[in-house]
Chain A
Amino acid sequence: GAGVSQSPRYKVAKRGQDVALRCDPISGHVSLFWYQQALGQGPEFLTYFQNEAQLDKSGLPSDRFFAERPEGSVSTLKIQRTQQEDSAVYLCASSGGPSDHNEQFFGPGTRLTVL
């Protein structure tokens, strides 16, 4: 079965450009998470959706970051006016399958480099 997919896998942006990162969760998974992973660090939570509702956006570092999941499946993370400190791997995860501990399944990530 298909896992979580993300696109693009790599993105290079000039400082000040807007970028959009896409996540396709596992079909039927209700919960979707975005994490940011800086080089050599563990992932850090950005935002969480349950279906189309964004229930937690406490990890978004600034108002330049925006996420949506309008139909409760595919999600897009948008970063406006990118800065060099935004360079990181952006990981998407989904959960909601039959497991009783609801582990999160991660995609391969999008590596964003801001020049």
Chain B
Amino acid sequence: AQKITQTQPGMFVQEKEAVTLDCTYDTSDPSYGLFWYKQPSSGEMIFLIYQGSYDQQNATEGRYSLNFQKARKSANLVISASQLGDSAMYFCAMREGIWQGGKLIFGQGTELSVKP
């Protein structure tokens, strides 16, 4: 079974508008971390935002926020005020357990295109 599911292969958004990228996850471990990474066409994975399973508040980093709904096992990424430079692949990932050295499990990704 997929541990990380991203159901949107591609998304379009108008410049300056907000967009939500969906991510659901599956784990029986009560301790886990959720990450979002951006991968531009250059190929490098860029860390965007992190949410811990015990965090009470949704994470925010600048224009990025994470809509964390623990009961529904979803961790959607919200990008506000989209910019042309936001066009890239976006990956949701999970690290299981409390050990912070653990491997990441990635979803299939969502390709975001920002239109001028």
Contacts and interface: CB of A to CB of B under 8 A. Distances in A.
Nearest to A89: B43
Interface in B72-115: 91, 93, 100-101, 103-109
A104 interface: yes
Given A42-B91, A103-B50, A109 B44 contact: yes
Measured as residues with beta carbon below 8 angstroms from the partner, the interface class of chain B is 20 to 34
Nearest to A4: B44
Contacts of B104: 33, 35, 43, 45, 104
A56 interface: yes
B106 A44 contact: yes
Contacts of B47: 103-105
A50 interface: yes
A90 B47 CA distance: 17
Interface in A30-45: 30-31, 33, 35, 41-45
Interface of A: 30-31, 33, 35, 41-45, 48, 50, 55-56, 59, 89, 91, 93, 95-96, 101-109, 111
Interface of B: 4, 33, 35, 37, 42-47, 50, 52, 91, 93, 100-101, 103-109
